[in-house]
Amino acid sequence: MFSRIALAKMIDHSILRPDATEDEVLRYCDDAMECHFACVVVLPYWCHAAEKRLRGSDVKVGTVVAYPFGAVPTQVKVYEARHAITAGAMELDIVINISAVKSHDYAAVHRDLEEVVTVANLAGLTEDGDDILTKVIIEVGLTNREEQTRVCRIAKAVRADFIKTCTGRGPRGVTVQDVKHIRQAVGREMGVKAAGGIRTIEQAGALINAGANRIGTSTGVAIVEAYDQSLGALTEEVLR
């Protein structure tokens, strides 16, 4: 059994709607601080405003790279990552080049991810640098199990921190089977972030039990408010 705050620390409170206003972004930041979420995931344009609002709190700024399709040149992804880190982002959700994966050009996928993850890892090596977490989005609704396994292996090889299931803009959301497959593919060494259509504590609980240790959702407040001790079946093991 673990506490409501432990559950909250597994949540990435996400506001990635293209029509989100500054007021909405700042409200998400305020809600995240009140609930003690892991981070707030915003579009790159809002990184600086979110960092300013969250400064001094225990909530990090997260953003997306090459969102939502990943099909931009590697140099563009590298620039996006550097710009986001400069603007205060501490967590990067990186969309794989889905077109390259579907073409089975895994060498290109490897080079692409390696360069972006390296930018993040090097940023943490400065004298006052903090670790920048990287999450590789595999878009389960557009990739099959074999492709997902190949990308998981690449992500491990380039030392990414998490595999993330969905952008939220794909053809479907995450399932328990998706998380189980990814957890089996990456083992216990990597994080697994379940995202895409998660709106209830029951969904979140099932995905955590399946092996997820982060939940990406726009309804984080409702989920933690629905916390109940009956969810004690979610053991401390999944938090490791």
* pLDDT tens profile 32-51: 999 999 999 999 999 999 99
pTM above 0.85, yes or no: yes
Q: pLDDT tens-digit profile of 66-109?
A: 999 999 999 999 999 999 999 999 999 999 999 999 999 999 99
H/E stretch holding 41: strand 39-42
CATH 3.20.20.70 fits 65-239, yes or no: yes
- For residues 216 and 198, the answer to whether their CB atoms sit within 8 Å is yes
Helix runs in 46-188, H state only: 47-54, 74-86, 98-102, 106-123, 145-157, 176-186
102 counts as catalytic = no
Residue 129 has pLDDT above 70, yes or no: no
Residue 231 has pLDDT above 80, yes or no: no
52 counts as catalytic = no
93 counts as catalytic = yes
Per annotation, catalytic residue among 9, 77, 93, 178: 93
Q: Across 37-51, 113-127, 129-143, which has the greatest mean pLDDT?
A: 37-51
CA distance 35 to 225: 9
Per annotation, catalytic residue among 60, 77, 135, 164: 164
